[in-house]
Amino acid sequence: MEQTVLEIQNLCKNYGSIKAVNNLSLKVEAGTVYGILGPNGSGKTTTLGILMDIINPDSGNFLWFGQPSTKFQRKKIGAIIEEPVFYPYLSAIRNLKIIADIKNCNYSEIERVLKLVGLYPRRFSKFRTFSLGMKQRLAIAGALLGDAEVLILDEPTNGLDPKGIAEIRQIIMEIAGKGITIIIASHILDEVQKICTDVAVLNNGRKIDSGKVSEVLSETLLIEVAAPEMKKLKAAAGKYKSVRNTKQEADKLIVEFSEQVQADDFNRFLFSEGVTVSHLSMQKKSLEKYFLEVLKGS
């Protein structure tokens, strides 16, 4: 049985006229690596902040493990929101002891998590003296304390060099391998494709798509068609090979294919089915178009 770890229902948060989170709903199942993908300012951090009670939502709600949020649930959730935060004048180990106290967990766990992120030799160094990559790793260690069942990571590879990025991803994969559910916010398409199983795509605080990464982010093709008789068109299109999905939008039908197809071949097929097409245009999936422009550059 799949268990729902997190369910967000109609969450909203405005900053003045800015709709940082706009009627967001989503579900995260246990054991998934759930990506929240969106460009800068799309509301990822705001959403994660609300989930951890750092930000008050305007409306909507969310359930952790099917229950309304409490501090006791947060002790089972490790979260890094926006950036690693610790007391800069305290050593790594002292910082982790504070978290352990808050989560009522045993200090003996500290050694384990420090070793997992490779910071054990630096445990007595002050947080202030850490490099960005080390800070990120310490934050992951802190988030894992208390046998976290869920890990929330907000742009965990932001600002790191390629080696640092590879190390962090390695750690994330290792943690995911232990069955811990991971929710990861990112503006990097490639990152989400590489490490996530599921994804929700945000733009301007709205969810514009969600599902399995293999479906949502795959290189699929869309063909937009219109015909005088839309019903007949839809029935005919559904019979074509490798059609995954058809969707009516205004006076057009959006046909989604799971593999490359030729537009003229598709048109000929429709004609043979008795449908005369009045409009036909090929495009990459709209989401792809958007993110290829906005996200691939980063």
Partner 1 sequence: MITLLKIELKKILPNKTFWVLIGLYILLTGFILFSIQGIVNSFASNVSDDEFPDMLSFSLYRFPVVWHNLTYVVGFLKIFLAVVIIVLVTNEYSFKTIRLNISSGLSRTDFVLGKVLLTAFLSLLAVLLVFISGLILGMLNTAVITFDGIFDKFSFLLAYFLEIFTYLSFAMLIGFLLKRSGLSIGLLLLYGYIVEPIAVFYLPDHLERIMPLESVSRLIGLPKTSIMKLIDKIDFINYVRWEDAVISSGYALLFLFLVFLIAKKRDF
- Nearest distance in Å: CB 170, Mg ion: 23
Give counts: helices (H), strands (E), the chain: 11, 14
Q: Can residue 44 be called a binding residue for ligand ATP (CB under 6 A)?
A: yes
Q: Can residue 41 be called a binding residue for ligand ATP (CB under 6 A)?
A: yes
Q: Can residue 42 be called a binding residue for ligand ATP (CB under 6 A)?
A: yes
Q: Which of ligand ATP, partner 1, Mg ion, none has residue 87 at its interface (CB below 5 to 8 Å by kind)?
A: partner 1
- Nearest distance in Å: CB 29, ligand ATP: 23
Q: Distance between CA atoms of 139 and 234, rounded to whole angstroms?
A: 51
Looking only at residues 107 through 166 of this chain, which bind partner 1 when binding is defined by CB under 8 A? 142, 146
Sheet of 252-257: strands edge to edge? 243-249, 252-257, 221-226, 279-284
From the list 13-21, 100-108, 133-141, 249-257, the region that binds ligand ATP by CB under 6 A is 13-21
- Alpha-carbon dihedral angle through residues 289, 293, 294, 296, given to the nearest 10 degrees: 100
Q: Can residue 84 be called a binding residue for ligand ATP (CB under 6 A)?
A: no
- Nearest distance in Å: CB 159, partner 1: 16
Q: Across 177-233, where does the E strand assignment appear?
A: 181-186, 198-203, 206-212, 221-226
Q: Can residue 199 be called a binding residue for ligand ATP (CB under 6 A)?
A: no
Count residues near ligand ATP (CB under 6 A). Answer: 12
Which x/- pattern, by CB under 8 A, does the window 26-45 give for partner 1?
--------------------
Residues forming a β-bridge with 153: 80, 184
Q: Can residue 12 be called a binding residue for partner 1 (CB under 8 A)?
A: no
In angstroms, the Cα distances linking 233 to 244, 262, 280, 283, 285 are 15, 18, 12, 19, 20
Q: Which of Mg ion, ligand ATP, partner 1, none has residue 20 at its interface (CB below 5 to 8 Å by kind)?
A: ligand ATP
- Nearest distance in Å: CB 227, partner 1: 51
Q: Can residue 68 be called a binding residue for partner 1 (CB under 8 A)?
A: no
Q: Can residue 136 be called a binding residue for ligand ATP (CB under 6 A)?
A: no
The two tokens of residue 60 are 């909507």
What element of type H or E holds 51?
helix 44-51
**Using CB under 5 A, which of 45, 136, 186, 220 touches Mg ion?**
45
Name the residue among 292, 250, 291 with its Cα closest to residue 42: 291
The angle that helices 162-177 and 132-144 make with each other, rounded to 10 degrees, is 10
Q: Distance between CA atoms of 138 and 96, rounded to whole angstroms?
A: 9
What element of type H or E holds 79?
strand 77-80
Q: Which is nearer to ligand ATP, 35 or 146 (CB)?
A: 35
Contact positions toward partner 1, by CB under 8 A? Answer: 49, 52-56, 70-72, 74-75, 77, 79, 81-83, 85-90, 94, 97-99, 101-104, 142, 146
